[in-house]
Amino acid sequence: MLKVGYIGLGLMGKSIARNILKAGFPVVVHNRSRAAVDELVAEGAISASSPAVVAAQVDVVFTNLPDSPDVELVALGKKGVLEGAHPGLIFVDNSTIKPASARKIAEKLSAKGILSLDAPVSGGDIGAKNGTLTIMVGGDASALEKVMPVFLAMGKTVTHVGEAGAGQVAKAANQIMVAAQMAAMGELLIFARKAGVDPQKVVEAIKGGAAQCWTLDVKPPRLFVGNRNPGFKARMQLKDMKIVLETAHEFGMPLSCAAENTKLFQQMIEMGMGELDNSAVVGVIERLAGVSLMD
């Protein structure tokens, strides 16, 4: 059985590592803050003092970190994965980062004989807890085959999209749709409220038709009881949208809808709502419309 390392035990990383542990894999963990490490050690994981120490004692090492510079530092920097790597190690990144960064990391690791996969995930904290994530994979097919049993402990759908960076392109595409759905949902809810119609009944009326989507199925019940806790934090949605726009710029492609939705999430952060769920973008629309969903 593969011995697995997991670095980055945030909102989703801790739940993913826990599911890998529950599936019976030996798991070595590392995180900047200690509480999540202690929690998983109490459940049977092994603690390591640095990414290099993790890499030295596992067959496959995962990272789940906030942004591109963080992953590059942990993978390639001092006391990083590369420093502790050994022949046969496979590096897998569950973070959402720039496709260009994923390709850079893969190239640097490949030069040292290490296979890598960029494998961002979708499904939020619910999917991470339930082991039902969607996993988009870029990189070497033989590495994916070896790691597949671990992926199946994390998610329900695993798709090999292409070579290095392809998984991150797919995740960026995913985030274009997620942002659009969150913004559209916020607008339709406040549109109904402003027009004097019960938004809950509107959702019931439309969610079985052409408007049906994961967002409309999952988010309104939380919003209707005033729950705007993450989920997936709005500041991370903004980070991802900046990756989308920067990558589109690299290819000389305008994305007008994505750009407008990015502005809404930027307003969220400016309004002090960056730690709330991305569905709480409804708060920006409430402010613009002068009406509250809870009225």
The verdict on whether 194 is a catalytic residue reads: no
DSSP string, 189-223: HHHHHHTTS-HHHHHHHHTTTTT--HHHHHHHHHH
Residue 195 half-sphere exposure, CB side, CA atoms within 13 Å?
A: 10
Beta strands in 108-147 (DSSP E): 115-118, 121-122, 133-139
How many Å apart are CA 95 and CA 256, to the nearest integer?
25
Q: Between the CA of residue 287 and those of 258, 276, 277, what are the distances in Å? A: 21, 16, 17
Q: Which residues contact 220 (CB under 8 A, 6 or more apart)?
A: 185, 189, 199, 200, 203
Q: Which of 98, 171, 219, 239 is catalytic?
A: 171
Distance CA 158, CA 4 (A): 18
Active site residues: 171
